[in-house]
C-alpha cells in the first residue's frame, strides 16, 4: 500500500498513531487507564496478576474454571531448563540485573523448540513460558550473585508468591505477596509505550517472540522509561531525611533538572496507576517501618505540585512503586526487573496482536546532511 499523505516529521513520535490495540486504553488528559475497558483502579483493587494477564490475552475476564485452567498452564511452565541454571551460574556476579535479564530472556529461546514458529498457538505457548519463567530468571540471578543456592518454584503458588519465595528463600506474608501482585497488575500494559513499540517493531519483521521481548527489555532499561523507579529510590536515599527535602528540591528545580518519577509523555493529569499505589505504598511502608520514605515522597509531591503541576507534571507509576519495592526488601537494581516481570504480559500480547494483519514498521528519517560530496582518497584527507 502506498503512503497516502506527505510524510511529516514528528520528533519522539508523540503525535503518531503506529498501531491498533484492544488491550489498554489511555486518556492522558483525564488520567484514565483501562485494560480491555476495565478501569485500572478497579483491577488493582480486585483482580490478581494472573487474572489480568488472562484479560489482556483473551480480551475478557475469565470464569473460575478458565482462570484455574490458565493458572495450571502457567504453573506447569514455572521451572527453568537445567541448562539455564548452568548458564546463569556463569554470569559475572557484578552484572547489573537488567543486563542479566535481557541476556536470560534471549537465552531461553535456545531451549524452546518452537522459538521460530510464529503461529498464534505457538506464540501463545511462548508467551506463557516467558511470563511463567521470568520470575525464576530474576530470582536465580539474584541468588547467584549473592552466592546463595537456588530455590525452586512451587506449583501451588502464584507468580508474586513464587517470585518472593525464590528470591528470599522463604514464603512471603500475604501482605507482601499482595503488594507485589498490585504492582504487577499496574505495570502489565500501557498502550504503545517505548518498550512495547520496540517489541512490535521487532515482531513485525517476522522475527520471533524471544527476540521481541529481548528488544523490549533493553528498551525498558533506560531511566526515561522503566529505569525511573530505581532512580527515584536513589533520589530518596540521596536526600536521606525529610528535613532535607525542601533544600534538595529547591536546588534541583533551580538547575532545571528532571525529577525522576514525575511527568509522562501521555498523562497530563495524575497517572491513574499512581492513585491507588500512593495509598498502598503508605500502608506497605507503615507495615515495614519505612514510613519516613513515604513521607519524604509526599513532601516531594507537594513541592512538585506547586512548582510544575500547572505544566501537567504529576507523579507517575514509578514514583510510589519505588517505595513499595523498597519496603518489600528488594534491592534497588531489581526494581526495573519487576517492571519487566509484569510488562512481559503486555509485550507478548502486543506481539500476538501485531502479527494479526501485520505490516513491517518502517518510518522514515529526514536526511539533514550534505549532498554531492566527492570521495577524497585517504592520502589527500586532512
Active site (annotated) includes residue 225: no
Catalytic residue among 112, 144, 318, 350: 318
d(CA 174, CA 132): 20
Nearest approach, Cβ of residue 368 and ligand CMC (Å): 21
Q: How far is CA 24 from the centre of its chain?
A: 14
Task: Name the residues that contact ligand CMC, by CB under 6 A.
Answer: 12, 190, 193, 224-226, 228, 258-265, 308, 311, 313, 316-318
64: Cα within 13 Å, side-chain hemisphere: 0
Nearest approach, Cβ of residue 188 and ligand CMC (Å): 12
Nearest approach, Cβ of residue 319 and ligand CMC (Å): 7
d(CA 301, CA 259): 10
Active site (annotated) includes residue 350: no
Residue 188 and residue 36 in contact, taking contact as beta carbons nearer than 8 Å: no
Residue 313: phi and psi, rounded to 5, are -110, 115
Sign of CA dihedral 51, 162, 337, 349: negative
Tell me whether residue 135 or residue 263 sits nearer to ligand CMC (CB atom).
263
Residue 322 and residue 335 in contact, taking contact as beta carbons nearer than 8 Å: yes
Nearest approach, Cβ of residue 159 and ligand CMC (Å): 21
Tell me whether residue 75 or residue 190 sits nearer to ligand CMC (CB atom).
190
Alpha helices in 12-60 (DSSP H): 40-46, 49-58
Q: How many other β-carbons are positioned within 10 Å of the β-carbon of residue 23?
A: 21
Q: Report the residue count for the chain.
A: 382
Nearest approach, Cβ of residue 261 and ligand CMC (Å): 5
The grid cell for 142 is 539474584
Tell me whether residue 317 or residue 351 sits nearer to ligand CMC (CB atom).
317
Tell me whether residue 145 or residue 225 sits nearer to ligand CMC (CB atom).
225
Nearest approach, Cβ of residue 190 and ligand CMC (Å): 6
Tell me whether residue 31 or residue 261 sits nearer to ligand CMC (CB atom).
261
Nearest approach, Cβ of residue 32 and ligand CMC (Å): 15
Strand 24-27 vs strand 32-35: parallel, antiparallel, or unpaired? antiparallel
Strand 24-27 vs strand 38-39: parallel, antiparallel, or unpaired? unpaired
Catalytic residue among 187, 190, 225, 264: 264
Tell me whether residue 162 or residue 336 sits nearer to ligand CMC (CB atom).
336
Sign of CA dihedral 370, 373, 378, 380: negative
d(CA 340, CA 342): 5
Q: Which of 191, 215, 188 lies closest to 202, judged by CA?
A: 215
d(CA 228, CA 318): 6
C-alpha to C-alpha distances, 185 to 73, 111, 189, 256, 342, nearest whole angstrom: 19, 28, 8, 33, 7
The catalytic site residues sit at 264, 318
Amino acid at each position: 500500500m502506498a503512503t497516502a499523505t506527505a510524510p511529516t516529521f514528528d520528533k519522539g513520535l508523540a503525535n503518531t498513531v503506529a498501531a491498533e490495540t484492544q488491550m489498554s486504553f489511555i486518556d492522558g488528559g483525564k488520567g484514565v487507564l483501562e485494560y480491555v475497558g476495565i478501569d485500572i483502579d478497579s483491577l488493582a483493587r480486585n483482580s490478581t496478576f494472573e487474572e489480568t494477564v488472562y484479560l489482556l490475552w483473551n480480551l475478557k475476564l475469565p470464569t473460575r474454571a478458565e482462570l484455574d485452567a490458565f493458572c495450571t498452564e502457567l504453573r506447569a511452565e514455572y521451572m527453568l531448563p537445567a541448562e539455564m541454571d548452568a548458564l546463569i551460574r556463569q554470569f559475572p556476579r557484578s552484572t547489573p540485573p537488567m543486563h542479566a535479564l535481557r541476556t536470560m530472556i534471549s537465552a531461553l529461546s535456545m531451549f524452546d523448540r518452537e522459538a521460530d514458529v510464529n503461529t498464534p498457538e505457538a506464540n501463545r505457548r511462548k508467551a506463557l513460558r516467558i511470563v511463567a519463567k521470568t520470575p525464576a530468571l530474576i530470582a536465580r540471578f539474584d541468588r547467584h550473585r549473592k552466592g546463595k543456592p537456588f530455590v525452586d518454584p512451587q506449583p501451588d503458588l502464584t507468580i508474586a508468591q513464587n517470585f518472593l519465595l525464590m528470591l528470599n528463600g522463604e514464603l512471603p506474608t500475604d501482605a507482601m505477596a499482595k503488594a507485589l501482585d498490585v504492582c504487577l497488575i499496574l505495570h502489565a500494559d500501557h498502550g504503545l509505550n517505548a518498550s512495547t513499540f520496540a517489541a512490535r517493531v521487532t515482531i513485525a519483521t517476522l522475527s520471533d517472540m524471544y527476540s521481541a521481548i529481548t528488544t523490549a527489555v533493553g528498551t525498558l532499561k533506560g531511566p526515561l522509561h522503566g529505569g525511573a523507579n530505581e532512580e527515584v529510590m536513589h533520589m530518596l536515599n540521596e536526600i536521606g531525611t525529610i528535613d532535607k527535602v525542601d533544600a534538595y528540591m529547591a536546588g534541583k528545580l533551580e538547575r532545571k533538572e528532571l525529577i525522576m518519577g514525575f511527568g509522562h509523555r501521555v498523562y497530563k493529569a495524575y497517572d491513574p496507576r499512581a492513585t491507588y499505589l500512593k495509598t498502598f505504598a503508605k500502608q506497605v511502608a507503615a507495615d515495614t517501618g519505612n514510613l519516613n520514605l513515604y513521607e519524604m515522597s509526599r513532601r516531594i509531591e507537594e513541592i512538585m505540585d506547586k512548582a510544575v503541576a500547572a505544566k501537567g507534571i504529576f507523579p507517575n507509576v514509578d514514583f510510589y512503586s519505588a517505595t513499595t519495592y523498597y519496603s518489600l526488601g528488594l534491592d534497588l537494581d531489581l526494581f526495573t526487573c519487576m517492571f519487566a516481570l509484569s510488562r512481559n504480559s503486555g509485550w507478548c500480547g502486543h506481539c500476538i496482536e501485531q502479527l494479526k494483519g501485520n505490516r513491517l514498521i518502517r518510518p522514515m528519517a529526514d536526511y539533514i546532511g550534505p549532498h554531492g560530496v566527492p570521495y577524497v582518497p585517504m592520502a589527500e584527507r586532512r
